[in-house]
Amino acid sequence: MDIEENDELKTKHRKVAAYLSIFPGGGQYYNKQFLKGLFFTVTAISFFVVFYDLFNIGFWGLITLGEVPMEDHSIFLLVQGIIAVIVLAFGLLLYGLNIYDAFKAGKRRDQQLGKPSIREQYRNLIDSGFPYLMITPGFFLLIFVVIFPIIFVVLLSFTSYDVNNRPPARLIEWVGFKNYIEIFQLDLWRRTFFSVFTWTLVWTFVATTIQIAIGIFLAVLLNQEGVKFKRTVRTIFILPWAVPAFVSILVFAGMFNNTFGTINIHILDFFGIDPVPWMTNPLYTKIALIMIQSWLGFPFIFVMVTGVLQSIPNELYEAAKVDGASIWQKFKSVTFPIIMYASAPILITQYTFNFNNFNVIFLFNGGGPPVSGQNAGSSDILISWIYKLTLEQSQYGKAAAITLLLSLLVITVAIWQFRRTRAFKEEGMM
């Protein structure tokens, strides 16, 4: 910031105070802020007293993952270690604050501004502290719900935790990149990974695009002048969203049953079409999945686009009408660009959602039908494969490694998308 200018100040109170704060509170005493200093000292001491055990066991466990089988449980130690890291991070935050505070107070002395009154300090605290106060509860929750699991997965992917290496009888070891290497080195794993990966991409792209197209189409259709019963129809169109997805998917699983499902025995029969092997043929299962996801996913797009359409001023269309534009031309040059402009970020989140859409894959056919010679079913996407690897096959290390590979991809796409987003540029954030 304005360090250069600061260095020209004659006295060096700010630096002395900062160095003295290596011992928490030291700088504050030097600045004659005894109450504050006492606060930092006491906090620091109690921090160590309270968390001594956690740090001791936590960091030791994190490094060694245990030494005596049956007595040390590597996974518990790993969890404890992560908690220790998180607690330490909070400690560091406080410690940094302690140094920073001493530095700032010292600077005021250097600038000969005098000590702020208690009242002033209080006002200051409230003004700058208010937003922190409001976000702190949420932040704490996020640390445990979002950050903690991610640290665990990252660490897990470098361990030997699998079906044959399970505590307590065995200790888990750090194995570096072994899991990552093996996914690409072992034939079976490589084959499975690429076949699942390919289908994941196809699935994400096709299913999402179709659901977006249907949503936009229906919204535009219903927004035409002269269409009656708009409210009723809109209500019907929202229904698939209003029914919990897991229920609908299970219902679809019953409807698509080869022998007893209503699709084969009633609908296709009505049109004189032979029964289709929905559940046992990979291609038909995939088609069914895409149809189901379209059914489930279009209402959200429909609702959003309807909102956008209602906000388009009529004059735009009037102008187009004067120019003698056809319906299609109007859609192409007025409606569609506005929809895209307004809702592109949300539309793109639909792609990341489907990339990780576990429910529909798992509940419809459990990733089946099987394909020979690989570790996953033919309709498995990466996320459902990861589920099977952890919850059914106990391949924790590899599942974590695949999770991270997958995340790398999703996150890259997401960041790229957010960077392009208008809102960000407007705020000059990136």
Residues of this chain, 23-52, that bind another protein according to CB under 8 A: none
Of 39, 60, 197, 284, which lies in the binding site for another protein, with binding defined by CB under 8 A? 60
* Site membership for another protein, residue 12 (CB under 8 A): no
Residues 6+ apart with CB under 8 A from 243: none
Of 8, 242, 314, 322, which lies in the binding site for another protein, with binding defined by CB under 8 A? 242
Q: Per DSSP, what are the bridge partners of residue 165?
A: 162
Q: Which is closer to another protein, CB of 39 or CB of 60?
A: 60
Which part of the chain contacts another protein (CB under 8 A), choosing from 115-123, 161-169, 193-201, 203-211? 161-169
Q: What number of chain residues touch another protein (CB under 8 A)?
A: 160
E strand or H helix that includes residue 323: none
* Site membership for another protein, residue 173 (CB under 8 A): no
Residue 90's closest CA among 38, 37, 51? 51
Q: Are 359 and 246 in contact (CB under 8 A)?
A: yes
Cβ at position 342, least distance to another protein in Å? 4
* Site membership for another protein, residue 337 (CB under 8 A): no
* Site membership for another protein, residue 176 (CB under 8 A): no
* Site membership for another protein, residue 75 (CB under 8 A): yes
Q: What angle do CA 20, 25, 31 make, to 5 degrees?
A: 70
CB-based burial of residue 166 (10 Å sphere; 0-12 exposed, 13-18 middle, 19+ buried)? middle
* Site membership for another protein, residue 380 (CB under 8 A): no
Of 190, 331, 368, 405, which lies in the binding site for another protein, with binding defined by CB under 8 A? 368
Residues 6+ apart with CB under 8 A from 40: 21, 24, 25, 28, 98, 101
- Alpha carbons 49 and 137: distance in angstroms, whole number: 25
* Site membership for another protein, residue 147 (CB under 8 A): yes
* Site membership for another protein, residue 69 (CB under 8 A): yes
Q: Which is closer to another protein, CB of 29 or CB of 404?
A: 404
Which part of the chain contacts another protein (CB under 8 A), choosing from 115-123, 128-136, 172-180, 200-208? 128-136
Here the tokens at position 229 are 């019963």
Q: Are 75 and 172 in contact (CB under 8 A)?
A: yes
